[in-house]
Amino acid sequence: MTVKKKVTVVLFHDGESGGYVAIMPTFPHCTTQGDTVGHALAMAKECLELNLREPTDWDLFDLDNAYSEHVVVGTVEVDVPPRPEPAKSEEDAAILDAAVALITED
């Protein structure tokens, strides 16, 4: 027996294509898009249903928290450091690779 659950979907207008990108904050791996708002919502529904054909316990837990009646959207401005200069030698490239590995290590 299937159960109906509501899921909050956030749409972003894609200025390049003119369509909409749909994300579900509780299921960030389910990102899709559509040409119109309705199409993007239909694609979000299809994407999530495909991912829930064999739901895990985590999926079911996330579904219980996937809907909010009140969604606040805001904007923050962040400071972004400049991109590093490209390596000029193989030795510089090795040093940069080692530094990146240290920073991104889990």
Q: What are phi and psi of 49, to 5 degrees?
A: -65, -40
**CA distance linking residue 11 with residue 17, whole number of Å:** 14
Give the model confidence (pLDDT) of 34-89 as tens digits: 999 999 999 999 999 999 999 999 999 999 989 999 988 899 999 999 987 776 77
What pLDDT does residue 90 have?
A: 82
Q: 3-class DSSP state for residue 26?
A: coil
Question: What does the DSSP 8-state code read for residue 98?
Answer: H
User: pTM of the entire structure?
Assistant: 0.69
What pLDDT does residue 98 have?
A: 85
Residue with tokens 């829930």: 52
Is 104 a residue whose pLDDT tops 80?
no
Give the model confidence (pLDDT) of 11-21 as tens digits: 999 988 899 99
The CA-based dihedral angle spanning residues 59, 60, 61, 63, taken in that order and rounded to the nearest 10 degrees: 90
What pLDDT does residue 106 have?
A: 56
